[in-house]
């Protein structure tokens, strides 16, 4: 029984680790950032309940509009394909929207009086709630396309990989992407358990400090996704230099152009 379990673990888990390549990391980092996005979910719920007092009907309508960007994911994916050369800018745009959403929430928690002088707190909350999903959708669409670019086209000798090997690598890439999202979600769950331990015994000011700290920690989300894109650019330039030095096969460059690496 133990031997059978080990063989299953080796075939389904350890094999994924052995097939992990450095080029897989950039999209995996973007996926992990999306997995961490749930970090502020509990705090947002407490904020609405304790400070805004919005009606259930209003929140249901807001949830509908916040899900519209995800419904537009397919046409956005086609748009990303058309402007693929600007993918880094798209991730930066998504990261900026996410960061702005988080900063608004930090302002609402730490300086509500000043924020209210500009516009109502409920309007600030709606703005934050709508900015975040747009940023996450943009990044998720780019990450989906980056998985194709992350799979290497040629081996270390400059020879194209056989089609069956490339299919296996694409499958591995997709599986690791899902695991990155799950890993980020598990990390968020554990962090929330740690941060909210004993919070019911704290006074209002101490609770507010925890809420603000969680949103400040969440600012790592756009940093992770931007770092993934920067790493992808570095790896791509390094791979192109290596191929130019090691092979003069014109077919290799045609393949690179087909996948956007040339």
* CATH code, domain with 161: 1.20.1250.20
Q: Residue 165: its pLDDT value, please?
A: 76
Cα 211 from Cα 193, distance rounded (Å): 13
Q: Is residue 74 classed exposed, middle or buried when 0-12, 13-18 and 19+ CB atoms within 10 A define those classes?
A: exposed
Query: How much of the chain exceeds pLDDT 70, in percent?
Result: 81
Assess if residue 18 is contained within a domain.
no
Question: Is residue 12 in some structural domain?
Answer: no
- Residue 8 in domain: no
pLDDT given at position 100: 95
Does residue 2 fall inside a structural domain? no
The total number of structural domains in the chain stands at 1
Span 40-71, pLDDT tens digits = 877 777 777 777 777 778 888 888 888 898 88
Residue 42: name the closest of 221, 222, 213, 225 by CA.
213
pLDDT mean across residues, the chain: 79
Q: Has residue 11 been placed in a domain?
A: no
Residue 130: the pLDDT is 92
Segment 114-170, tens digit of pLDDT: 988 999 888 999 999 999 999 999 888 888 878 877 777 766 666 777 778 778 787
User: Would residue 115 count as lying in a domain?
Assistant: yes
Predicted structure pTM score:
0.80
- Residue 38: inside a domain, yes or no? yes
With respect to residue 135, please indicate whether it lies within any of the assigned structural domains: yes
Domain that holds residue 190: 23-258
- Element of type H or E holding 30: helix 25-36
- Regarding predicted confidence, which is higher, 98 or 207? 98
| pLDDT at 75 exceeding the cut of 50 | yes
Residue 8 has pLDDT above 60, yes or no: no
Let me know: does 73 contact 137? Beta carbons within 8 Å.
yes
Q: pLDDT value at position 134?
A: 92
């Amino acid at each position: 029984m133990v031997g059978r379990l080990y063989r299953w673990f080796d075939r389904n888990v350890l094999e994924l680790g052995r097939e992990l390549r450095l080029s897989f990391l950039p999209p995996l980092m973007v996926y992990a950032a999306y997995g961490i996005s749930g970090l502020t979910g509990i705090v947002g719920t407490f904020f609405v309940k304790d400070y805004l007092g919005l009606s259930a009907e209003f929140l249901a309508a807001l949830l509908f509009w916040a899900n519209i960007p995800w419904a537009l994911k397919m046409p956005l994916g086609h748009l990303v394909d058309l402007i693929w050369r600007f993918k880094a800018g798209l991730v930066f745009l998504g990261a900026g929207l996410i960061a702005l959403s988080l900063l608004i929430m930090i302002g609402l928690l730490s300086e509500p009086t000043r924020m209210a002088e500009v516009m109502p707190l409920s309007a600030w909350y709606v703005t934050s709630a709508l900015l975040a999903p747009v940023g996450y959708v943009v990044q998720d669409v780019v990450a989906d396309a980056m998985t194709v670019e992350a799979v290497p086209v040629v081996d270390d000798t400059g020879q194209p990989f056989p089609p069956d090997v490339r299919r296996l690598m694409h499958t591995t890439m997709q599986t690791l992407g899902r695991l990155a999202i799950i890993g980020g979600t598990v990390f968020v769950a554990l962090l929330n358990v740690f941060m909210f331990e004993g919070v019911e015994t704290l006074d209002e000011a101490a609770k507010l400090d925890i809420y603000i700290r969680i949103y400040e920690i969440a600012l790592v989300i756009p940093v992770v996704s931007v770092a993934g894109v920067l790493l992808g650019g570095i790896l791509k330039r390094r791979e192109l230099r290596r191929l130019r030095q090691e092979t003069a096969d014109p077919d290799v460059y045609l393949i690179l152009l087909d996948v956007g690496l040339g």
